[in-house]
Structure 1
């Protein structure tokens, strides 16, 4: 297929159709796909942030461009694990339709991770109302095209571009998505959890802009966790300290496990937690047991598993992935109902670890304004939507104007009610 003069686009139905190095050269340019982070992730993080000069205290952290940062979710390994484990395949409603723009020497200049879907599950940006309205009017909303990382509400690049690619590469990829939808007979294209660069490109390409918000911890260069607490209002600071004490009462201990320290026994325990939480919240967990084994086999040095134990036995755990400028909280579960343990394992421990490893932020997943009281701030998230039918497009565009206004008002309100001191 072609979307511009001299532009040749191909579509992959499986990641087995492309080499790992070629994918990662676009997904995480500047980061060698075969370079391990090492069992100690601090080695990897030092390489990214640079060592502070001897005898000089490190200043406030500044996140590098998202285009030079390492994002674990768009890596070949992570997406291949989803596919190979059977978690995200055509059978589960995630048929790969990855778009590749051919570049010089036959190497891809750009890639879009894209899936053809007969449903809207596992996306965290909800369009079921649009689908219902369109189908009641006699249209076929599905199949649609979804540009995202399956089951992962984490902002990151979606129009993946190799270093040195032609300047118009992202624009060509955006046009290619529309052409692909037309050729496949898809009603729409949805690109979710976009970084600002891709959101702007897709907006200029005729996609409809949508916003929402999450809650992230922003590391203002804190020396340690106590330094972070000192930035909070006194009442909030005391509340967190009391909450942490109560969460770990009764002999509960916490371990941080990464790299080779994570065993299959750890994954067995965590999968049990995940299945219990997933079954109660969603009705059907998206990931299978093999996913976690493959993750431990291929990406353990990019994983932080936080485990709570009582009498030496795991009773709760939280799975995080490590990027070069963020710690991404993904899944949590527990076999005991312990007050405040969820907050301790998912939020406080993640903040503590991120500060110790000089990470600029913690992304704790979708939803949850309860994170605000724990030092997380409201952050706007972005998606973009192209709809073929003009009538549905007009209706959705009108709805999104009102929704964006509501999100902006809510964001402003929450931003004024963070737990930080007034002069922070």
Structure 2
């Protein structure tokens, strides 16, 4: 076997990489990751340095992993600023660190991409042992695997030298609904009424919603959406890392996996939300607008997504991180996990106590969120 770390995903054959991607996961496809690199969304400017892993057996790619060296913690959605401060307080360098995740996207998915005929646990062990040794040689502070899917996370949970952090997200599940009305019928009357009222407000405001994909969205649509996206980050005094070139490159490369919802009034785009989907799951990512209209955010980001998921037979909808306001709109609390391996450091007891306290807080938040369920019958 030969294991390589590469600075550009273009150094790995596209078809070979994609053959390892389960469920046609859009954020793990070669085209998506390459578009991030080609359009400088992950680059030294933003503190993301690609060094993707590729494992070959007799010249054939049998395993791979998205991997980045990071010089900051931006765009990860697992917040470790206090860890960085602790390292700095004793004169240690927290950066660079390694991160295995999808940049700027708190989406779940496989993190060890392994050929189906391989012994997955053996390959995971092989990759982890090699990278841990390399991390020590390269003097990185640690390696963070974020939002791994159930199979990868279950394996990581069994490893004694990995720390596990918990968070709470909100996902929508298709429980055999045939239509949006079927979904509404599963809600308590008051919640059902509120959603209908929110959707009516958008209609009454003279707004028309249009669903587009990579084939049907025009250059003007992407220009407008990029303007909405940039405006959202500017208003939050945050850093916009994506750009029009990236959006259009992904739309061209993965046209069937893009869902661009544009809100139009008087023939002009005034707001938009961007989503992507695998064979089973819809992922909501970005939203922006130039006109504030009551309930338009909920319509464009949630209800249009739910309708699309139902039409396409998708099983789940991950709308993004945070937000208890999602509960009243049919999204259910879900515990997410991330795994963290640290090179030798003086904070073993402190991190253990931190993680225990954090888990207790997340467990309580999850429980309180469950109590707010909008559904008429208990969820499984």
Normalised by the shorter chain, which TM-score bucket? Answer: over 0.9
Of 81, 93, 96, which residue of structure 1 is paired with 2:50? Answer: 96
Structure 2 match to 1:279: 234
Question: CA–CA distance in 2 between the matches of 1:182 and 1:364?
Answer: 37
Question: CA–CA distance in 2 between the matches of 1:293 and 1:237?
Answer: 37
Q: Aligned with 1:390: secondary structure?
A: coil
Of 60, 68, 73, which residue of structure 2 is paired with 1:120? Answer: 73
In the alignment, is residue 17 of structure 1 matched against residue 11 of structure 2? yes
Contact 2:171–2:334 at 8 Å: present in 1 too?
Answer: yes
Of 204, 211, 223, which residue of structure 1 is paired with 2:178? Answer: 223
1:423 to 1:20, Cα distance in 2 relative to 1, 3 A? closer
Contact 1:171–1:201 at 8 Å: present in 2 too?
Answer: no
Report the CA distance between 1:92 and its aligned residue.
2.2
Report the CA distance between 1:423 and its aligned residue.
5.3
What's the CA shift string for 1:341-384, capped at 9, x where partnerless? 10110011111111121111111001111000101101111100
Q: Aligned with 2:372: secondary structure?
A: coil
What's the CA shift string for 1:295-332, capped at 9, x where partnerless? 12211221011111001100010001011111110000
Contact 1:233–1:419 at 8 Å: present in 2 too?
Answer: yes
Structure 1 match to 2:95: 142
Of 113, 123, 130, which residue of structure 2 is paired with 1:176? Answer: 130
Report the CA distance between 1:79 and its aligned residue.
0.4
List aligned pairs for 1:44-59, cutoff 5 A. none
Contact 2:12–2:54 at 8 Å: present in 1 too?
Answer: no
What's the CA shift string for 1:94-127, capped at 9, x where partnerless? 1111122222x21122111100011000111100
Structure 2 match to 1:418: 373
TM score, norm. by length of structure 2: 0.96
Question: CA–CA distance in 2 between the matches of 1:321 and 1:377?
Answer: 20
Report the CA distance between 1:404 and its aligned residue.
1.2
Structure 1 match to 2:277: 322
List aligned pairs for 1:271-310, cutoff 5 A. 271-310=226-265
Question: CA–CA distance in 2 between the matches of 1:202 and 1:176?
Answer: 15
Structure 2 match to 1:58: none
Structure 2 match to 1:399: 354
What's the CA shift string for 1:2-40, capped at 9, x where partnerless? xxxxx5321111112111011112223xxxxxxxxxxxx
Contact 2:215–2:252 at 8 Å: present in 1 too?
Answer: no
Contact 2:49–2:68 at 8 Å: present in 1 too?
Answer: yes
Structure 1 match to 2:30: 76
Q: Aligned with 1:304: secondary structure?
A: strand
Contact 1:90–1:96 at 8 Å: present in 2 too?
Answer: no
Aligned pair count? 377
Question: CA–CA distance in 2 between the matches of 1:332 and 1:397?
Answer: 37
Q: Which moved more, 1:394-403 or 1:139-148?
A: 394-403
Q: Aligned with 1:180: secondary structure?
A: helix
Report the CA distance between 1:288 and its aligned residue.
1.8
Report the CA distance between 1:223 and its aligned residue.
1.0
Structure 2 gap ranges (5+):
none
Structure 2 match to 1:110: 63
Contact 2:69–2:97 at 8 Å: present in 1 too?
Answer: yes
Q: Aligned with 1:26: secondary structure?
A: coil
